[in-house]
Chains A and B, each alone.
Chain A
Amino acid sequence: MDGSRRPEPHYPVTAFAVANALGSSANAVAAELEAGRSGLRPCPFDLPFETVCGMFAGHLESLPPSLAGHDSRIARMALAVIEGMAREVASAVRRWGSSRVAIAVGTSTGGILESERALRTHAATGRLPERFDLDRQHAFHGFLEVLRARTGARGPAYVVSTACSSSGKVLGTARRLIAADLADAVVTGGVDTLCDTTLRGFGSLQALSRRPCRPFSAERDGTSIGEGGAFLLVERNGEGRVLLLGVGESSDAYHMAHPHPEGLGARLAIEEALRHAGLDASAIDHVNAHGTGTVANDAVEARAIAAAAGTAAAVTSTKCYTGHLLGAAGATEAVFAALAIERGVVPATLGAEPLDPEVALDVCLEPRRGRFRTALSNSMAFGGSNVAVLLGAPR
């Protein structure tokens, strides 16, 4: 990084798809966001505490016979979500050739839900379920293989798993793979499912609210977990719904589970995304914040946003609608940022009132209509892994 203001190539995002607790298509999800309707409901998992969560709203079909051995909730969800841009992916494979289309997908849970079920069976019977296959159903490469088969993409294919920043970072990978001429198009995105591991894990950290989370509120008391996925097709050139202007990636070097108190790592990530774009902080019109609704995150992130992106942008957190999608959060919220640019609406942050007086940002308490030319999406993860994705309207 040389500190120069020369912008790097701005690759078009030619298609995107999203599905979660709000709905099973981008249009359905956008309608719920703009109407201010949360998808969070009492959690159906048998847990030793009370919480709400965002269950996937769409129908999850079983895998086709050729992939039956890979059957898992995450693979089913990945296929359901990517269906929303199957036509555009097929077109990219035809245009560039299958070996030039890469897949970079983020997840934190992978298929661990299947291992939880398998280990419960083992505890009860002394045997794993007959059909359980660690490689095909649990491991990250299991659902990666399903995506390769479905898309026909035969270029580089891998999973990025850095907890809650995973599927924001895949957009950084996409920029580099294209810039390095290792691919011409990259299917990026992320998928995560609800499971005991994340629900009980965040429960043990006392990070979960009993009610739908209330990002940036003075009364916030924890986050809510959700499941779902999103995909974005990034191409070397073409007609973009939005442009990928920059992706900043950094580390806190501070703590496994707590953010740096001044949000130093998050600031570095935002600043790097701006450098890629060749833009000043004043150019950011909208921020879709990480905004988990935990006491620690929101105060720290607000400081980082104010320091690196200024206080003029319309800020929202959408975790109060979908729950925290963990490994799928980065891609999902990048799609939400893209929808805000396309549709000219920033969703309200539900439950944000009374706003935390420490949050010196323009948090949207009502849906905000306007012309948003650039939108930033932040994700901050366990281990201090941060990513800031900067999108812009097509020129």
Chain B
Amino acid sequence: MTRAFIGGIGLCAPGLDATSEWLTTFPGITDSGEPSEVLPAALRRRASPLTRMAATVAAQAARQAGLDLARVPLVLGSAYGEIVAAAEMIRSFGEDEGLPSPTRFHNSVHNTAAAYLSMATGNRGFSTALAAGSATPAAVVLEALAWLRSRGGEALLVLLDELPPAPFDLAHPYPTAAVALHVSAEPTRGTLAVVSGLRRGIASRPDLPGGLGAHPCAGAFAMAAAVARGQRGALGLGAFDEDGWLVDVDAVRVG
């Protein structure tokens, strides 16, 4: 398998205790949900909470990796996508004229965050939006590695999910959170970690703070945590059963 090199990370997990363990160990990782400078005001006003989080983490990773968001290929991953907007829209069918607002409708597609990032940065290149339940991080890494191996260069991975709203109560709730990872085919001076050895394997759900271990993108948060902690070793990307994927992460310790 081709190796990939992580050059930047972004994390947004509003409500998570920012002073806890690995969150403080790494400059550039914050739990802040502050409006991102990436989205101009007109787009920010129309953007869903999930899309605003995507812009926040993309901006963080871009800053750390010295990345041009107008040119980088984007791979978005989410198990449920814009499920809050979708559920609100379905409820609105029973009200008034029975038609959703046009903005709510086009904001409910799975690629909404990728589209807003493209519009905000003028990026006319490749982007995609994937889903595979708790194997979503594995899908994103597979798509990114396939991209890097066939095209070279770099890619920005953005993984995010919000909690499905009531009455869709999940057995294992999780915090709404997003993570971004910049990956490249070649190492750079700012490389934070090397990723290699993608393979099938069984791993247990990662032990992460604030309920992130139950998040559909837990495998990606675990990768960010491993980089932040300067860890070395195998890591489960999900799914966390016999259909799981493992990857080796060798982090360059910083800070």
Mark A residues whose CB is within 8 Å of B.
Answer: 1, 47-48, 99, 108, 112, 115-116, 119-120, 122-123, 127-128, 134-135, 138-141, 144-145, 154, 156-163, 169, 173, 175-177, 179-182, 196-197, 200-205, 249-257, 264-265, 268, 381-385
Q: A159-B132, A182-B145 are in contact. List 15 more A-B contacts (CB 8 A).
A: A119-B91, A128-B167, A141-B135, A158-B142, A161-B81, A176-B150, A180-B145, A180-B149, A180-B150, A197-B89, A197-B90, A250-B126, A253-B123, A253-B124, A256-B106
Which of A127, A173, A256 has the most CB atoms of chain B within a 10 A radius of its CB? A256
**Count of inter-chain pairs, beta carbons less than 8 A:** 199
Which of A128, A176, A254 has the most CB atoms of chain B within a 10 A radius of its CB? A176
A182 and B79 alpha carbons, distance in the complex (Å)? 22
Report yes or no: B132 in contact with A157, Cβ–Cβ below 8 A.
yes
A163 and B135 alpha carbons, distance in the complex (Å)? 21
Which of B97, B99, B112, B149 has the most CB atoms of chain A within a 10 A radius of its CB? B99
Q: With A256-B106, A381-B111 as given contacts, are A159 and B149 in contact (CB-CB < 8 Å)?
A: no
Report yes or no: B150 in contact with A119, Cβ–Cβ below 8 A.
no
Report yes or no: B146 in contact with A179, Cβ–Cβ below 8 A.
yes
Report yes or no: A203 in contact with B99, Cβ–Cβ below 8 A.
yes
Which parts of B216-238 form the interface with A (CB within 8 Å)?
none
**Chain A neighbourhood of B123, CB < 8 A:** 251, 253
Report yes or no: B97 in contact with A180, Cβ–Cβ below 8 A.
no
Interface check B52, CB cutoff 8 A: no
A253 and B136 alpha carbons, distance in the complex (Å)? 25
Q: With A119-B87, A176-B146 as given contacts, are A158 and B132 in contact (CB-CB < 8 Å)?
A: yes
A128 and B130 alpha carbons, distance in the complex (Å)? 28
Interface check B147, CB cutoff 8 A: yes
Q: With A48-B97, A197-B86, A200-B100 as given contacts, are A177 and B142 in contact (CB-CB < 8 Å)?
A: yes
Instruction: For residue B168, give the distance in angstroms from its CB to the closest CB of chain A.
Output: 5
* Complex A-B: 26 CB contacts under 8 Å: A115-B86, A120-B94, A123-B91, A134-B164, A140-B110, A154-B243, A157-B135, A158-B131, A158-B136, A161-B111, A161-B129, A162-B109, A162-B110, A162-B114, A181-B149, A182-B146, A196-B93, A197-B86, A200-B93, A205-B106, A251-B124, A253-B122, A257-B102, A383-B109, A383-B112, A385-B115
Report yes or no: B146 in contact with A173, Cβ–Cβ below 8 A.
yes
Instruction: For residue B205, give the distance in angstroms from its CB to the closest CB of chain A.
Output: 16
A156 partner, pick from B89, B115, B127, B142, beta carbons under 8 A: B142
A180 partner, pick from B2, B89, B108, B121, beta carbons under 8 A: B2
A344 and B45 alpha carbons, distance in the complex (Å)? 51
Q: With A99-B200, A141-B79 as given contacts, are A250 and B146 in contact (CB-CB < 8 Å)?
A: no
Report yes or no: B2 in contact with A256, Cβ–Cβ below 8 A.
no
B129-167 CB mask vs A (1 if < 8 Å, else 0) is 111110110110011011101110000000000001001
Report yes or no: B114 in contact with A383, Cβ–Cβ below 8 A.
yes
A108 and B91 alpha carbons, distance in the complex (Å)? 19
Instruction: For residue A316, give the distance in angstroms from its CB to the closest CB of chain B.
Output: 27
Report yes or no: A268 in contact with B100, Cβ–Cβ below 8 A.
no
**Chain A neighbourhood of B99, CB < 8 A:** 48, 200, 203-204
Instruction: For residue A377, give the distance in angstroms from its CB to the closest CB of chain B.
Output: 18
Instruction: For residue A208, give the distance in angstroms from its CB to the closest CB of chain B.
Output: 11
Which of A177, A180, A257, A383 has the most CB atoms of chain B within a 10 A radius of its CB? A383
Q: With A180-B2, A253-B121, A256-B107 as given contacts, are A140 and B131 in contact (CB-CB < 8 Å)?
A: yes
Interface check B101, CB cutoff 8 A: yes
Q: With A139-B79, A141-B133, A205-B102 as given contacts, are A250 and B124 in contact (CB-CB < 8 Å)?
A: yes
Q: With A197-B90, A385-B111 as given contacts, are A161 and B131 in contact (CB-CB < 8 Å)?
A: yes
B46-90 CB mask vs A (1 if < 8 Å, else 0) is 000000000000000000000000000000000111000011011
Which of B86, B111, B142 has the most CB atoms of chain A within a 10 A radius of its CB? B111
Nearest 3 interchain pairs by C-beta: A383-B115, A141-B133, A161-B110
Q: With A141-B133, A162-B128, A197-B90 as given contacts, are A182 and B119 in contact (CB-CB < 8 Å)?
A: no
Report yes or no: A253 in contact with B119, Cβ–Cβ below 8 A.
yes
A145 and B109 alpha carbons, distance in the complex (Å)? 21
A145 and B239 alpha carbons, distance in the complex (Å)? 12
Interface check B255, CB cutoff 8 A: no
Report yes or no: B170 in contact with A251, Cβ–Cβ below 8 A.
no
B90 partner, pick from A115, A135, A141, A158, beta carbons under 8 A: A115
Report yes or no: B146 in contact with A163, Cβ–Cβ below 8 A.
no
A312 and B117 alpha carbons, distance in the complex (Å)? 36
A65 and B54 alpha carbons, distance in the complex (Å)? 40
Q: With A141-B131, A383-B114 as given contacts, are A251 and B109 in contact (CB-CB < 8 Å)?
A: no
Interface check B210, CB cutoff 8 A: no
